[in-house]
Amino acid sequence: MSLAAWRRLEAQARSARDTSILSNFHADPDRLSRMSMEAAGLFVDLSKQSWTKDGLAAALDLAREAGVEAARAKLFAGGEVNTSEHRAVLHPALRAPDGAHFSALGVPVSAEVEAGRQKMAALADALHAGKAFGATGKRFTAILHIGIGGSDLGPRLVWEALKPLDSKIDLRFVANVDGAEIAQALVGLDPETTLVVAVSKTFTTLETLANAEAARDWLRATLGEAGAKSHFAAVSAAPDKAVAFGVEPDRVFAFWDWVGGRYSIWSAVGLSCALALGYEVFARFLAGAAALDRHFVEAPLEANAPVLLALAHIYNRNGLDRAARAVVPYAQRLRLLPAFLQQLEMESNGKRVTATGAPVARATATNVFGDAGTNGQHAFFQLLHQGYDIIPVDLIGVARDEEGPDGMHTKLLANLIAQAEALMVGRSEAEVRAELAAKGVSQAEIDSLAPQRTFPGDRPTAMILLPELSPEALGALIALYEHKTFVEGVLWDINSFDQWGVELGKTLAVQILGELTGASLGAHDPSTTALVQRLKV
């Protein structure tokens, strides 16, 4: 890693700190064309970012000197990218067209991937043809998807984004170990027509197993033990554990240790979506991601959407010390995207040591939050426009959408464009004073109100436009953020593909569960001991 390259980027950011984004357009007439690009059908516009022309050049130099191109090649070649677990990282292999030749640490994997797809397609086709039956001979009309984290967030997002209004399949999700979620999910479902899909990479996840056991008890109450087994499918990288749980071997769908959970929607983790949407739709989703993969591999860095998006976020995070970022999709169907990106980015890059265990030299992942536009405008946009901190915003829009009454989508797009302009341009105090004076407001009240109604502007945004909310566009959008996250990890010299930070709390939860249900108390701090004693069953 070149320390000099980092210092050049940070120096450029400091020198441009007082330069407005709008003035950059005047100083750089080609700014819009150089910072906007097409990527697998997506339009990505980074012209409203804070960097100057020289700042962008410094960011690109950093990417080259940090070895982004070599790291990208290693990822697609199936090298040991996840170094702490000695694994390849090959989610691109999951969406590559048939006939691809991916290998993980030298072992070919594409044939297994294709076989897995064929198994998913066969069940999906049978389901939609009315040939997938439950224990009593009734066709499956509902799917209960059980998983958590990467086994839940991706499938939920895809289903919410693509589900047809007249879907013949009722797909519901359960993640939380809070019993309220599964209780609500089961309301109105018929055990005779419900297929349960339990998804867990290790098939040891406490929340998923608890919910799977609850679902199995629900099935048993109507169908008996044998009947319940025929209503279960499982997705796991530990198929033997799924079989031991009671799932029939031919209903266990594999994925592999070279697939990270938060990168796994492209695998059998997406089975429920493939079943509910139809496999043809799921295949189009994969194709959109594969197209973005090709762009990431082939486009030069200065026109590479994931690379430039990562560099924009790096410039804000490290050059300008902006610790948070909002993600606002102006599409109700994409309202789960911020939650999905919270896991993708914060679990991947929320690290304080490098891939070799040394302390990081600078801050890493941003705090990601957001909601659907225009809802967010009536919640946290006050902070974005007039808050003390400058918070960059990713705005996601859909160019064409015929869903809903005439004119609604145009109103949505108007808000999308207006917010980007307002965040960048703002409104000066002089403008506010003139407006209030024209309305006859007294000078004393103007002096009080004008500062409150002033918008400082100069808030950066990234604009990502989907031509329509198609399976292909959704696949490309998710892959864009996956590769953006990877590039950031390379620049920070961290491992984006492990998640040791989630382990300690899980381990302690197992211990405390035993103590809450009867075991003697172990060694805790006084506060934790008091809580266990207060809540002990």
For residues 478 and 265, the answer to whether their CB atoms sit within 8 Å is yes
Q: Is 313 a catalytic residue?
A: no
Using CA atoms, how far apart are residues 392 and 345, in angstroms rounded to an integer? 15
> Taking a C-beta distance cutoff of 8 angstroms, is the pair 295, 305 a contact?
yes
Residue 524 appears among annotated catalytic residues: no
Q: Is the dihedral of CA 416, 418, 424, 429 positive or negative?
A: negative
Catalytic residue among 101, 131, 506, 536: 506
Bridge partners, residue 368, by sequence: 325
Active-site residue, from 101, 131, 168, 378? 378
Question: Minimal CA–CA distance to 213: which of 223, 198, 194?
Answer: 198
- What Cα–Cα distance (Å) separates residue 19 from each residue in 16, 22, 24, 51, 438? 5, 8, 7, 9, 31
Please, which residues have CB within 8 angstroms of residue 530's CB and are 6 or more apart in sequence? none
Q: 169: left (phi > 0), else alpha (psi -120 to 50), else beta?
A: beta
Distance CA 253, CA 134 (A): 18
How long a stretch of residues is the chain?
537
Q: Catalytic: which of 192, 207, 345, 347?
A: 347
Catalytic (active site) residue 506: yes
How many CB atoms within 10 Å of residue 139? 16
Give the position of tokens 């490290």: 318
Identity of the residue numbered 422? A
Surface-to-core class of residue 27, CB atoms within 10 Å of its CB (0-12 exposed, 13-18 middle, 19+ buried): exposed
Cα separation of 392 and 459, whole Å? 6
Of 171, 373, 193, the C-alpha closest to 270 is 171
Task: Name the residues annotated as catalytic.
Answer: 347, 378, 506
